[in-house]
Amino acid sequence: MVPINNARAFLSLIVIAAISFPALGMSNGPGAMNSDGELTVKYGCSCHNNGAPSDRAVVMMSGVPLIYETSESYTFTIRVADSLTLSGGEGNVQAGFLLSSDSIGNFSWDESEDIRYADGRADDISHSDPDLDGIWVIRWTAPSEDLGPIQFWLVGNSVDGGGIPDDMDYWNILSFSINPPATITTEESSSTLETRTISVGSYDSLFLIEVSDEQLEQERQDEISKRVFSQGNLFYWTTLVALIVGAVFQKEILERKYDDGPEFLASELAYPQGIRRTIISAVSFYFGVVSASTDTPLYFQDVDFRAFATGLAFFISTWAAYGVYRTIIAARATPNVDDLM
């Protein structure tokens, strides 16, 4: 018989796996049907955000023509984003999508795009991995004959990257149609007729953000703390380097005054030591020059450490070069009796 504890552990693993499979599947693109047995692309997701659409999810498609020409190819740009992130706040940054034209026309894309055909709907397409910028570029080729207005459905999901569908994920549905050939006549310019951008999402959450006094004060305090941290680091390291340089100069002066240099170092030890220190000096100097010649920041916890890294590299290079000098002086020193025994 299987021990009770082992049986419980096995049952727990089964439950965890069963719960995890939907989340893993969604991260690689949604399925054609949601958990309610309805088409995801037309009725939305039933797991993210408790199954409710949210205007916080902004779903856009640009490059959409008013009318299509038979067998003509059009380039669409899909964008899915958290409106809070778009407006400068700290919202979701990962996103995915599902697009359908009910098998009318054909979708294609470059290999660099993280896109695949949707599971269960061979002519629909979706993301293959959650995208960090929420932007995909695709091509749609119109049918070879006039099939009347063509309806499109685009579901976008802005997620928090937690790995599970929760109420911090926001999705929305964009639905639109493209008119058949020769159905629209207008005196507008051809550029107006060629393409348009269609979107869905909350206007207020996208364009209007109310900043409270507490948020303004927090931003001010954050700015002060960053400035104090930056200036404090500058004064601290400058003082530390000055103390080290002063101590070295004092040591050199005293050694010359009292004729008390470094102890004798045999050549079989001096050569390897000098070579090591020379290599360290040269490599550190190289990294210092590279760091100083680039404008690319080196962030750690939202602090740019590029200037610190540059200074540290030059300091190590200088210190190692001074070590080479000390090695040479030690190798040239007069050996004592103890050194020769």
Structural domains counted in the chain: 2
The reply to whether 222 and 183 lie within a common domain is no
The reply to whether 186 and 48 lie within a common domain is yes
| pLDDT value at residue 18 | 41
When pLDDT is cut at 50, 70 and 90, the band that residue 29 belongs to is low
Residue count of the chain: 341
Alpha-carbon gap, residue 79 to 313, rounded angstroms: 42
Find the domain containing 228 and state its range: 213-340
Q: Which of 262, 283, 268, 269 is nearest to 325 (CA)?
A: 262
CATH number at residue 67: 2.60.40.4060
pLDDT digits (tens, 9 = 90+) for 38-91: 888 888 876 776 778 888 889 999 999 999 999 999 999 999 988 888 877 788
The reply to whether 94 and 222 lie within a common domain is no
> How confident is the prediction for the chain on average, in pLDDT?
81
The reply to whether 222 and 332 lie within a common domain is yes
The reply to whether 249 and 172 lie within a common domain is no
The reply to whether 283 and 250 lie within a common domain is yes
- Bridge partners of 77, per DSSP, are 62, 137
For residues 116 and 125, the answer to whether their CB atoms sit within 8 Å is: yes
When pLDDT is cut at 50, 70 and 90, the band that residue 4 belongs to is very low
Q: Which of 123, 71, 118, 120 is nearest to 102 (CA)?
A: 123
The reply to whether 202 and 225 lie within a common domain is no
The reply to whether 160 and 238 lie within a common domain is no
The reply to whether 61 and 109 lie within a common domain is yes
- Among the candidates 207, 225, 247, a domain finishes at 207
The reply to whether 253 and 161 lie within a common domain is no
Q: Which of 104-108, 129-133, 158-162 has the lowest mean pLDDT?
A: 129-133
